[in-house]
Amino acid sequence: MISVSFLNRTARDSRSRRVHALMQWCLAASLALYAGTHAQAAEHTSVTPEQAYQLALEARSVGDYPAMLILLRQAGYAGDLPAQEMLASVLLAGPVLYGDSISGGLCEAIHWSRRATEQGSAVAKHQDMILNGLRDLPLQREICFARER
């Protein structure tokens, strides 16, 4: 019994280290891109939106929620539909599902849900129905839209 838990912990630790190394690489690549490095160097460090989404899923599986949020936003801004849908869900659930590391952000959740709806997402349409059922949403939407202007 002891050896089994030791093996599970070792596999989990190994996966966690691997994901952490991938996250560091991804963040370094993002910083290099945003810092305005040469285009040739950026080609070697770029991450596709799909890769960023997959890294976000890995980060979620090891409980690295801040990194998950960064990667979801990166993929979402690049137009990745699953990332936009998940980002809206994560921001709606916020601390209820992810603890204090992710604060609920209704305005940002509305933003991502709207972007996903524009791409024809059935998931985002359902999220909008949930949002429309919230009692204080009309006032909150006005606040959110005023911030965007």
Confidence band of 4 (pLDDT split at 50, 70, 90):
very low
**In the predicted model, is pLDDT for residue 71 greater than 90?**
yes
Instruction: Please tell me the total count of domains within the chain.
Output: 1
Quick one: which of 32, 27, 82 has its CA closest to 57?
A: 82
| Residue span of the structural domain in which 135 resides | 2-148
Q: Tokens in use for 124? A: 């985002």
Q: Tokens in use for 32? A: 């290099």
Q: Please give the mean pLDDT across all residues of the chain.
A: 75
Residue 63, pLDDT score:
93
- Whether pTM exceeds 0.95: no
CATH number of the CATH domain containing 123:
1.25.40
CA dist 81 and 62 (Å) reads 23
**In the predicted model, is pLDDT for residue 19 greater than 70?**
no
**In the predicted model, is pLDDT for residue 81 greater than 50?**
yes
As a whole number, mean pLDDT of residues 83-101 equals 88
Neighbours of 114 (CB within 10 A): 16
Residue 42, pLDDT score:
35
**In the chain, how many H helices and how many E strands?**
9, 0
Q: What are the pLDDT digits (tens) for 24-49? A: 655 555 544 443 333 333 344 589 99
Torsion angles phi and psi, residue 126, rounded to 5: -65, -40
Q: What are the pLDDT digits (tens) for 93-140? A: 888 888 888 877 888 888 899 899 999 999 988 887 777 776 566 666
As a whole number, mean pLDDT of residues 136-147 equals 65
Residue 93, pLDDT score:
85
Residue 61, pLDDT score:
95
